[in-house]
Structure 1
Amino acid sequence: MPKPSQTKTSPKKTGMAAVAHYDIAAASLAGHEYVIELTVPRPAAVQRVSLPVWIPGSYLVREFSRHLHGLAARQGRSACTVRQIDKCTWDIVCEPNRPLVLRYQVYAFDNSVRTAWLDSQRGFFNPTSLCLRVHGQEDSPHTLTVKKPDDTPDWELATALTPRRAGPDGFGRYTAANYDELADSPVEMGTFWSGSFTAGGVPHRFVVAGAPATFDSARLLRDAQKICETAIRFWHGANKAPHKHYLFMLNAVDDGYGGLEHRASTALICTRRDLPRQGEARTNEGYTTLLGLISHEYFHTWNVKRLRPKEFARYDYTRENYTRLLWFFEGFTSYYDDLLLRRAGLIDDAAYFKLLTKTVNQVQQAPGRYAQSVAEASFDAWIKYYRPDENTANSTISYYTKGALVALCFDLTLRGEGRTTLDDVMRAVWERCQGGPMAESDFTFVLNKLGGRRFDREMAEWVHGTNELPLKKLLQAQGVKLLDEPSQLAQALGLRVSENSGSVVIKVVLAGGAAATAGLAAGDEWLGVELPATRGVPASGWRLSRLDDLTLYAGEARQVTALVARDKRLLRLPLGIPSGATTWRLLPSQENAAPSQAGLPPSGGGSGSARPRGLSTSAAGDSPASTRTWPGR
């Protein structure tokens, strides 16, 4: 997206004035406080306003109104009565059709992508945290003016909103077609780096706050451009993308990771160490993770922001919005984010299979996959995924990771049967739903039609059931090697620990594992281990300062006594040490496949030179046929 000063587009004339206008001022950088004035030109006699309790894309009720205070209302010089109805809703008693002005403050000190932040270095906010919703008038145009803070002459502003009267630094007035568009358009302020590129004929802008001097901005732009071009080509081939501009907002911090998708922008956070560095050509693991995050959030431009659950056709900002389809919208996006990095040529086969191996093992090592289906996990996101505890791994499964493997299973099944691919199914679902609300029946209809048969059993077992996915069979059929490698000690024991200052504290005990059988519990401090006498060696006891000390002292012993402290009480628990526990490692087979694409689902514009053994392909936007060449060729 070009800078506001370069943007000549004016908002479309609708024949009606904006229903609500927000003046936003960074009133106190040190106090982390915004002051908002909301003007409602034509209020009702009792005008209701409310602040959202959640932000779309992050499925947790976060109670943004807890940071709002000092709400007052007036018409001219006359104060109006403000009555609070519930935790986030107020009624204003006023004279109808006479301009109403509300003034209030919002505390902003959450350095995440979900809410709002303000200090002497940077400002950021999602309108869901600052902008009250005017009930009954949500579908009319809204405008927003952001004032530059005093004593910050170098600050700039970036947002995907349409500029109406904005200066070269970006501060000024913006317009939104309705409250939904306003709520979906975060704002970044500060002394950020800014760059731009074009992908698929669409202008894109990238801003980065907090980057060190070693930041290789040119490389980030080149790689982001490849990701965007690959994603646009995936969905539309040579046709136009549905968005007219796009803005990436990246906040680089000492420790942090995450992203939140929006219709024409995304807010990202990463560690500074993950940024590409000048003079460093290699792609380290941290930068690969950042590229995967960029790919994931950009893929959401289609898959959840436009093509979306029918339950999200209109957001209800006052409560949870339930859907059983996050396995599709988050899980399938998680499948394609890394795959599109490979197709864009940003990672090689080895890196791709390393990422896929990690996803497989995350699911295989979670007992919760037997307790909950991905459809159920989608529905329970509001109470489980975003509120993890010591039992989460046993009671639920991630719709991100297992959803990605469900996508993999569908893709490999479709390619193995030779009629179509998951790529074609995704594009056909987009066309069927016209890039709008979607039901599960839309996916199954397209799947059955293009696949040439009914997939009821796969849907029941993979999506709505808790059976194991047929990963091994499907991967091996595509020439992928599956190696069983020894598990790390924590996984072999079935637990997760923290190790700090010579102390081993148990954080999670996995159901069915050796630790659970022994009676170990989350919160236990594992102090030491006792070994029985064997072969003339006397019994002994040892202090543990880290988990790996267990193998040092136990040696070949398969039965020990764990010494733990629980609520200041010392316990002796018999612990069996399992042998032969393994994890998977995936490797592409070189048999009958070029090294650049061995075992991979074909690309939608990738860099491979040959078709992998057993994989059927089709051209983007064309009907499947066995004679098709690689997509994007």
Structure 2
Amino acid sequence: MTASIRYRIDLADAANHRYRVTLTVPNPARVQLFSLPVWIPGSYMVREFGRHLSGLSAQQGRRDATLTQLDKTTWRVDTAGRGALTLSYEAYAFDHSVRTAFLDDSRGFFNPTSLCLRVHGQEGTPHEVRLAGLPAGWDVATAMPALAGVRHGFVSADYDELVDHPFELGHFWRGEFEAGGVPHEFVVAGAWPSFDGERLLADAKRICAAQISFWHGRGKPPFERYVFMLNTVEDGYGGLEHRASTALLANRRDLPRRGQAAASDGYVTLLGLISHEYFHTWNVKRLKPAEFVELDYGQENYTRLLWFFEGFTSYYDDLMLRRAGLIDSARYLKLIARTISGVRGTPGQKVQSVAEASFDAWVKYYRSDENTPNSTISYYTKGSLVALLLDLQLRRAGESLDALMRRLWKACPNGALTEERVLAELTELGGAALAESLKGWVHGRDDLPLDAALAAAGVKRSEDKAAWNAALGLKLSEGPVTGVQVKSVLTGSAAAAAGISPGDELLAIDGWRIRRFDDAQQWVTEGQPFELLLVRQQRLRTLTVKPLAAPALERNLSLAPDPQASAAALALRRAWLGD
């Protein structure tokens, strides 16, 4: 039997935010290489986790082994004869996100990609994790199988499985439910005492049951146990999918509270996040880009398919809330309207296709700046609209995107998906013309023809004026002096024509001091030029802003069911929304 790679992860230095890691390799190579991943699957950015390692040393028996660093994340150890090799090091952990590691005297969390060096050549052997130095009363949550007979011991089949199991540590609320015949666990850290855990469990169960039914009917999901790990904070949002768990970050004020009947917008957002990450259990963790079948943890792994894996997942996350009965159709349509407005108000969609945005995720999506709205489009949002459009067109032909997703699941037994496979299955299901249309939507830079598709589904469109700053092409944030600072200026807007720049702090409009930008609408004549006093690099500037006759962001969409729709449209809408 192959001896396991063993990691002892000690929390004794929690107050200084340092994990102490001892890695034991029972049978090292003569020249043994080690490396730490530079990225974590599901978050497409090189994050250089190795920068948090320190004090690396190596011993073989009683002898110090020669250890040489080869590059930013790779080390070599020259061993002598037989005998286990032990590496010791520390990892600094003070990142509240779901992507890395955190440790203080009240809570711990880590992804093994941040702590566990990869033993080159032995990735396929079992890997054990043993936790030590846990403060009194701390609990542990993870989907990694327990190591028999070892308290706080866990084991994975190989390195890929090891790094796909995050750990939540500390004092947290814990609840359980069953969906699809499989136990699910939900842990919540940082919640207020008024938190309604039973409601969260009940709602999460409905989401999970709807998705398991979507993929498998009455069958069982492809995991034996699932764990949701939610950390709630004052201000934060995010999620990262794993093969049998997900790490979530949300505002604690968005949790459901006892005695609160209505679902707040924040709680609906949280439910959408739960739905999104759970859907990834199938769509990206098992059905995945062909380029991701064998991951390279040392560099970027490129794909042009994130519009499918993130975008289509973003379509289904809120749709599953509707199908689970957690929101009604009117609320769901408002969520769609917000996405449509956001995409149509982003000049970058005319610059970059969602396929290109997928490929550029490593340098653009996760490295956003003031020019991001002008240079790129989100493969999440526009990808979700591609899915919406495709679903509506398929339903008009008597099929559905649901059917396509299940066909792809069955057609890719090893999980490897290509765009060619998507188009081939779509051709069989909906015809060659629709497959050609999908190519155009994915690789093109035009507005998606959503209006006609929604109308054919019995959904009417009404229009409202956009916020004043949006109509002028301004994205604003809080400024250090006035409270109004320019975050971004959209290409082709009145603000761009006036020469306003990101970073400008807005002081006055037509001679009146402003602390809230919209206040100026009380004295500015709609559609007429106005004088804007601002400060740039400590110097005062006065610019003339001339509103465009037809500004690109003049209107937002508000979607609602059309009671006058035809019988065919109403039938399509019922099938789509589950009404």
Q: TM-score range by the shorter chain?
A: over 0.9
List aligned pairs for 1:471-490, cutoff 5 A: 471-490=450-469
Judged with a 3 Å threshold, the aligned counterparts in structure 2 of structure 1 residues 469 and 166 are, in CA distance, closer, same or farther, namely farther
Is there any run of 5+ residues in structure 2 with no aligned partner, and where?
A: none
Aligned residue for 2:153, secondary structure, equals strand
Assess if the C-alpha contact under 8 Å between 1:43 and 1:96 holds in 2. Answer: no
Q: Does 1:587 align with 2:570?
A: no
Aligned residues: 573
Give, in angstroms, the shift of residue 337 of structure 1. Answer: 0.3
Other-structure match for 1:154: 137
Determine which of 537, 554, 559 is the counterpart of 2:529.
Answer: 559
Q: Please, which moves more after superposition, 327-336 or 511-520?
A: 511-520
Post-superposition offset of 1:529: 2.4
Opposite residue 272 of structure 2, the aligned amino acid is: G
Q: Secondary structure at the match of 2:455?
A: helix
Q: Say if 2:458 and 2:573, in contact at 8 Å, map to a contact too.
A: no
CA contact (8 A) 1:367 1:510 kept: yes
State whether residues 482 and 505 of structure 2, in contact with CA within 8 Å, keep that contact through their aligned partners in structure 1: no
Amino acid at match of 1:45: R
Could you tell me the percent identity over the aligned residues? Answer: 54
Q: Which residue of 2 aligns with 1:291?
A: 271
Q: CA deviation at 1:134?
A: 0.2
Q: Kindly provide the amino acid, as one letter, of the partner of residue 555 in structure 2.
A: T
CA gap 1:154/1:407 in 2 versus in 1, 3 angstroms: same
1:557 Cα shift? 5.7
The one-letter code of the counterpart of 1:245 is R
Contact 2:493 2:548 in 1 (8 A): no
Q: CA offsets per residue over residues 75-120 of structure 1, 9 Å max, x none?
A: 1110001100000100011124420000000011001100001111
Residue 28 (structure 2) aligns with: 43
1:499 to 475, 478, 489: 478
Task: Show the 5 A alignment for 1:357-436.
Answer: 357-418=337-398, 420-434=399-413, 436=415
- Root-mean-square deviation (CA, aligned residues, Å) is 1.6
1:569, distance to aligned residue in structure 2 (A): 2.6
Q: 1:59 aligns with which of 30, 34, 44?
A: 44
- Pairing 1:104–2:89 present: yes
CA shift for structure 1 position 572: 2.4
Q: Return the TM-score normalized by structure 1.
A: 0.88
Q: Which runs of 5+ in 1 are unaligned?
A: 1-14, 531-540, 609-633
Match of 1:574 in 2: 544
Instruction: Measure how far apart 1:579 and its partner are.
Output: 5.9
Is the contact between residue 482 and residue 507 of structure 2 (CA under 8 Å) also seen in structure 1? no
Distance 1:499 1:67 in 2: 32
Q: Which amino acid aligns with 1:546?
A: R
Q: Residue 593 of structure 1: CA displacement?
A: 8.4
Superposed, 1:111-260 pairs within 5 Å as 111-149=96-134, 152-165=135-148, 171-260=151-240
Shift in Å, 1:165: 3.4
1:381–1:486 Cα change, 3 Å = same
Partners of 2:245 and 2:136 lie apart in 1 by: 25
Amino acid at match of 1:135: H
Task: Name the counterpart of 1:319.
Answer: 299
Contact 1:589 1:598 in 2 (8 A): no
In the TM superposition, what is the alpha-carbon distance from 1:354 to its structure 2 partner?
1.2
* TM-score under structure 2 length normalisation: 0.96
Partner of 1:79: 64
Is 1:440 the counterpart of 2:422? The answer is no
Please state how far the C-alpha of 1:607 moved relative to its aligned partner.
5.9
Aligned match of 2:332: 352
**Aligned CA distance change for structure 1 residues 67 and 138 (closer, same or farther; 3 Å):** same
Q: 1:145 to 1:435 in 2, by over 3 A?
A: same
How big is each residue's C-alpha offset from its partner over 1:38-89, in whole Å with a ceiling of 9 and x where there is no partner? 0001101110000000000000100001100000000111000110000010
Distance 1:217 1:470 in 2: 42
Partner of 1:464: 443
The Cα of 1:336 is off from its aligned counterpart by: 0.2
Which residue among 11, 14, 17 is the counterpart of 2:3? 17
What is the CA distance between 1:27 and its match in structure 2? 2.4
Counterparts of 1:96 and 1:179 in 2: how far apart (Å)?
A: 25
Larger deviation, residues 444-453 vs 500-509: 500-509
Cα distance in 1 between the residues matched to 2:519 and 2:260: 37
Deviations 1:269-289 (A, max 9, x none): 111101110111110101000
Deviations 1:285-316 (A, max 9, x none): 01000000000000000000000000000110
Q: 1:93 to 1:102 in 2, by over 3 A?
A: same
Q: Does 1:453 align with 2:436?
A: no
* 8 Å contact from structure 1 (residues 542, 553) kept in 2: no
Quote the Cα distance in structure 2 between the aligned partners of 1:113 and 1:525.
33
Q: Which amino acid aligns with 1:235?
A: W
Contact 2:61 2:83 in 1 (8 A): no
Residues 330 and 403 in structure 1, CA contact (< 8 A), matched pair in contact too: yes
Q: Are positions 1:266 and 2:246 aligned together?
A: yes
SS in 2 for 1:548: helix
2-structure distance, mates of 1:450, 1:510: 40
Query: For the residues of structure 1 that align with 2:326 and 2:411, how far apart are their CA atoms?
Result: 32
Distance 2:423 2:10 in 1: 49
Cα 1:505/1:592, change in 2 over 3 Å: closer
1:166 Cα offset (Å) = 6.1
Amino acid at match of 2:540: L
- Alignment of 1:91 with 2:68, yes or no, is no
Instruction: Give how far 1:598 is off.
Output: 8.2
Q: Secondary structure at the match of 1:296?
A: helix
Between the aligned partners of 2:531 and 2:259, the Cα distance in structure 1 is 53
Shift in alpha-carbon separation, 1:556–1:438, aligned structure 2, 3 A: closer
Query: Which region of structure 1 is more displaced relative to structure 2, 101-110 or 426-435?
Result: 426-435
Alpha-carbon distance in 2 for matches of 1:83, 1:557: 67
Check the 8 A contact 1:210/1:251 in 2, yes or no: yes
